[in-house]
Every structure is written in C-alpha cells, then in structure tokens.
Structure 1
Amino acid sequence: MGHETMTQTTKTTLVFTYGTLKRGFSNHVLMQDLIRSGDASFKGVYQTLEKFPLVCGPYKVPFLLNKPGSGHHVTGELYSVSPKGLSRLDELEGISRGHYVRQQIRIGGEDLVETEVVEAYYAHKSYEEELWERNRKRSFGAYTENEAIGYVKRKDRPQHLSFLDHIRIFVSSSPCD
C-alpha cells in the first residue's frame, strides 16, 4: 500500500487550512513534510458551512475570526493529521504563545454526506475584535495569490518583535486604503 495510508490505530484529526498551509503557499512545505512522513494526507477542498471573516493581519498573514455569520463561506483545504503532525502544526501556529487557537469548525462539500466537524486555527481572542475593526469589517472568501501579495515570511520579519507585538502595531495603525 502507498505511504499515504495511515494506520487506523492512530487517532487522526481533520484540520481545515485556509491560509499559508495550503498548496502553493509559503508554509505548505511543512504539510509536504508531514505528508512525506505519513503524518498528514490531503482530503480535498471544502467550504465552511457558516460564514466567517477571513482577514489579513501584519505581513499579509491570514486570520480566520471566530465570528460565525459575518464574512463569507471560506474555502480551504482539508488534511487528516496524526498526533505528531498536529503538534507540529500547533507549534507553527503558536498555540502555546497565544497567536492562534485551534477550535472546531463545520465544513460542507458535495462528497460529504453530512456536515463534518473539523478543526481550524482561528485568531486568538485577545486581538480578534481589533483585527476585525482594523480590516473595517471587510473580509474575503479565500486566501489567494492576490491576498498573499506582500506576505513576509517569519524569518524575514523584524526579529526583535514578537508576533503579538506585530499584531498590536498593526491593529493600532490606520488602514492605508
């Protein structure tokens, strides 16, 4: 059998990715790594059942805001991830540092018999509201090449500031459009 089949004994988690972890974006290298080691497999492209705001923060980093009913049905990619893979994703998303929170989200798609409850990384509550205000309550339905223009990789950002510092500076600055 192919290496993409994971042993059924391992408890996998379905993770809905909507930003830089998707194919063609900067953090997808981690996903490719996990797929190679058998710690993740691609399940397809899906949309959120409810509308959610998807906005950009500092350095064009995408954030899903946990505000069901606002925004759009967000399109993203679904991956089945092993516990080891999940801990690597949690590390990337700064779960322990208050960057993102991993919570449930419902998705739908043609091939889903019923709605599937999966997990997604949302913006942390500590700055979610300000990020929504800073984006003038405007959001988009998918993070595409267009939204990613100007994205700055973590290693290329000012290193003396934490990610949360970058967010604080961003939300207190005025929108340039």
Structure 2
Amino acid sequence: MASISVSQDLLTPHNNNNTSTTSRTWLIFTYGTLKRGFYNHRLMESLISTGDASFIRECTTKESFPLVIGPYGIPFLINHLGSGYRIPGELYAVSDRGLARLDELEGIETGHYERLPVDVVSGDGQVVAVEGYFGHRSFGEELWRKNGEKGLREFSKEMGGKYVVRANRPLGSNFVDDVWKFISA
C-alpha cells in the first residue's frame, strides 16, 4: 500500500487517491497508551511501517474533558465537555485499514470505547476537527463519578507503568464487566 499523504495545513480528512480504490484518511487524536513511549504505540509503529498511519504533531483538545484511569490502569477520555482539562496528545493520519485496527484495539464493536469527533489545537493555534476514542457512553459518566469528578491533566509515563496488558488480565474476563466492577468497588 502506498503511504498516506497529509496536507501541511491539516485541513479536514480527505480522500487518498494513491491506490486503485479510494481510501479515506482519518485524523485520530491519541491521549493514552497509543502515544509514543507507551505500550500500545507498537500498533501505531506497525501502522506507520505499512503506510497506514503517519504522525502529524502533538496537540491538545480545544475544550476540556475528563481524563480518568479505570481498571487495569486504562485511560479513558470521558465525553463530558467542559469538565476536566484540555488534554494533550498526538495527532495521526490513518488509513481505513489502520482505522479498522485501531477500532479493534479500542473495542469499538464490544462497547469499550466510542470514536467521536473532537477538536484539537496545534502548537500554532490551528483548530482541527478530528476523532478520538472516548470511554463508552454506557459507563463513561459513572467512571467519571467513581473518580470523584476529578480528572487528570494527562496520561503520564508513571501512569503508563500501571497499565496491565491484555495478556496479563484475568483469563475469561469481560472488559465491560470489569469496568462495572471497578465502578461499584
């Protein structure tokens, strides 16, 4: 596959006509374990190596959102606009194939996260409409309350060290059930 291209001005997602079939380029905001230096960044590296993703730049959410830690040290951005902080992260351009792999990791089909629109601001002040992964609406508000309605300013290296990879989680566990157990504990 030809590598995806991104215009320098980071305008809206666009079609990439470098292949025989048209593939959309998605702009994805990452704020947790997908960032450089964190465990799940290996997926981003794999996508970059196949031309299915490219790093654009660091950015921050335009609006404030709660960022909380759930079970297994997993970070969740909560879709509760105006609470919490403006969250720093990284912006990537991702192909359709790359997006499918990210959606799989984030459990879109199984109700772990939702991919939702979010505006981010780059260092030069440019606002870009992108998408990011938010804790699923079925538990997001409750997870925010469980954390005392206090969010984190960012997902740090220290917090990343507390992340438990899937292979080290209890066998046969159900992630959404584990979130609810965490909330009710």
Per the TM superposition, whether the score is higher than 0.5 is yes
Deviations 1:136-174 (A, max 9, x none): 11111210112223210011000221111110110011x
Q: What's the counterpart of residue 9 of structure 2?
A: none
CA distance in 1, matches of 2:4, 2:184: 46
Q: Are residues 1:22 and 2:35 paired?
A: yes
Listed as ranges, the gaps of 5+ residues in structure 1 are: none
Choose 77-86 or 164-173, whichever is displaced more: 164-173
Number of residue pairs the alignment of both structures matches: 170
Instruction: Specify the SS of the correspondent of 1:125.
Output: coil
Shift of 1:8: 3.1
What is the TM-score when the length of structure 2 is the normalising length?
0.88
Shift of 1:4: 5.2
Q: Are residues 1:70 and 2:83 paired?
A: yes
Q: What's the counterpart of residue 47 of structure 2?
A: 34
Cα distance change, pair 14–112 in 1 and its aligned pair in 2 (3 A): farther
CA distance in 2, matches of 1:141, 1:15: 19
Give the alignment partner of residue 141 of structure 2, picking from 129, 132, 145: 129
Instruction: Specify the SS of the correspondent of 1:126.
Output: coil
2:58/2:123 contact within 8 Å kept? no
What is the TM-score when the length of structure 1 is the normalising length?
0.92
Q: Are residues 1:118 and 2:126 paired?
A: no
Aligned CA-pair RMSD: 1.4
* Percentage of identical aligned residues: 46
Q: What's the counterpart of residue 175 of structure 2?
A: 163
Aligned-partner residue type, residue 171 of structure 2:
Q
